[in-house]
Amino acid sequence: MAAHSPQNYVPLFVMLPLGVVNADNVFEDPDTFEQQLKKLKEIGVDGIMVDVWWGLIEGEGPKQYEWAAYRSLFELVVKIGLKIQAIMSFHECGGNVGDTVNIPIPKWVLEIGQTNPDIFYTNRSGNRDQEYLTLGVDNLPLFGGRTAVQIYSDYMKSFREAMCDILEAGYITDIEVGLGPAGEMRYPSYPQSQGWVFPGIGEFQCYDKYLKADYKAAAEKAGHPEWDVPDNAGTYNDTPDKTEFFGANGTYLTEEGKFFLTWYSDKLIEHGDQILHEANKVFIGSKTRLAAKVSGIHWWYKDKTHAAELTAGYYNLDDRDGYRPLARMLSRHYATLDFTCLEMRDSEQSETAKSGPQELVQQVLSGGWREGIDVAGENALSRYDSTAYNQMLLNVRPNGLNKNDDDKHEMSALTYLRQSDELFTEANFKLFTSFVKKMHADHDYEPNFIHLTPLKRSKHKIPIEKLLDATTPVLKPFPWASETDTPVEE
């Protein structure tokens, strides 16, 4: 950040409604939308975040990209003077918490899945999840000769070309690369569409033939041809103790279980690393930053099994930091770690879920800062109340307003979920206005606060052993105040 920046200012973005470009790839109601954006601009909001759906843009056929609706949208946002965080959304919209619109992945990909359903993440009984391609096909040329990673890369190149002038003008401050379901770098371990309900532990999703073969090969190489993917980890809505895998003296504590969990979580890190590397090659030299989203799996965080995190691919235990290796991987791409559930307090959660959103946020943010990367984030659920705003303000500046720039930990940005008609009702908007002001530490809006430099080439690949060095020792999070010193004014 530039030295002359207003002290303690943290930019605030607003997530656009899911259907802003509708399921037919049409920017439906620009006029209403423009009125709302102007209101956001007036109160000092820094920018917006928006999903750029693969299923819409490349919906017609391979490499047949249609950007017209998004061009109009981006031009309008720029005209109003807001910045853009663009999500490369390679996942389906629908089937997850808060999804009100249904946008599947491209039809021509789903058709390939009809003859080869193993291109999708699969649970133990063989149920396919069509939200996102399994990372097992990242490097297999199953899509008209292209691999999944090539498809993602081509898509990002097309985006860069379509938005070239807007990128060059520095309006697209962040490119968040979708790395899994809901745009999050995780496995689809807790799909509502398959009957998962909070706070079920979820399921491993490594039973497509590609991931199974990969695991068999890894086990064989490790001298254990008899090991196989788990068959005792229960079903979506189990509690940890109901399963052999997570139960007392469970499989997860054995040599075999540890080997599996390491493989499962390493695959996810390598998936993110490879696609971010492609993103880096595409956007190198552009005035933008890369980002990846990590999901806030706060349920069972206070259980020693951390079962829900483990099924999602975050191998995090009380004696193993599962998040810092991700942050270290992101560091070589100069990428921002975007985390969720910033608004949640432990006291709002039921005891039975052994939920610990506050401790989880502190762990992940601290890990990011220790790895020297920018950490940003968002709230998980729609909220319009001061309790939620104040919790976000606390996490944005855990030590409060700080005159000394050297030893402070501060988030680089926050994205508020999300723009809706409800946000613009008088009482809600009044409180939100105060929230924006407090995010800016009572400074006025500063157009040049986000200082972008041309994206640098990714550093050398960090070998997985070096990434895993970050799993131990598990360090305490940095100190955190119990309440924000910049609460919203009601």
Ligand X SMILES: *[C@@H]1O[C@H](CO)[C@@H](O)[C@H](O)[C@H]1NC(C)=O
Query: Using the rule CB under 6 A, which residue among 39, 124, 258, 430 binds ligand X?
Result: 124
Among left, alpha and beta (phi > 0; psi -120 to 50; other), residue 197 is beta
**Residue 69, CA atoms < 13 Å, CB-side half-sphere:** 21
Residue 184: active-site member: yes
Query: Using the rule CB under 6 A, which residue among 203, 238, 273, 321 binds ligand X?
Result: 203
Query: Does the annotation place 138 within a ligand binding site?
Result: no
Residue 256: active-site member: no
Query: Does the annotation place 340 within a ligand binding site?
Result: yes
248 contributes a contact to ligand X by CB under 6 A: yes
CB of 300 to ligand X, least distance (A): 18
Distance set, CA 105 to CA 24, 144, 339, 410, 455 (Å):
13, 16, 24, 36, 29
CB of 389 to ligand X, least distance (A): 37
Q: Of 172, 87, 53, which Cα lies nearest the Cα of 455?
A: 172
Beta-sheet pairing, 128-133 with 120-122: antiparallel
Query: Does the annotation place 448 within a ligand binding site?
Result: no
Query: Does the annotation place 289 within a ligand binding site?
Result: no
Question: Which residue, 92 or 371, has its beta carbon nearer to ligand X?
Answer: 92
127 contributes a contact to ligand X by CB under 6 A: yes
CB of 304 to ligand X, least distance (A): 13
Question: Which residue, 204 or 339, has its beta carbon nearer to ligand X?
Answer: 204
Give the DSSP letter of residue 317. Answer: B
Distance set, CA 268 to CA 56, 116, 154, 312, 325 (Å):
26, 22, 21, 10, 11
Question: Which residue, 235 or 382, has its beta carbon nearer to ligand X?
Answer: 235
Query: Using the rule CB under 6 A, which residue among 123, 189, 340, 412 binds ligand X?
Result: 123
Q: Which residue bears the tokens 């157009």?
A: 447
Q: How many helices (H) and strands (E) does the chain have?
A: 14, 10
Token couple for 258: 């540890």
From CA 218, how far away is CA 220, in angstroms rounded? 5
92, 176, 184, 410: the active-site residue: 184
235 contributes a contact to ligand X by CB under 6 A: yes
From CA 488, how far away is CA 490, in angstroms rounded? 6
Query: Could you tell me which stretch among 40-48, 123-131, 271-279, 387-395 binds ligand X (CB under 6 A)?
Result: 123-131
CB of 313 to ligand X, least distance (A): 17
Q: Which positions touch ligand X (CB under 6 A)?
A: 123-125, 127, 194-195, 203, 235-236, 248-249
* Residues identified as active-site: 184, 378
Known binding-site residues for substrate equal 51, 91, 99, 293, 298, 340, 379-380, 418
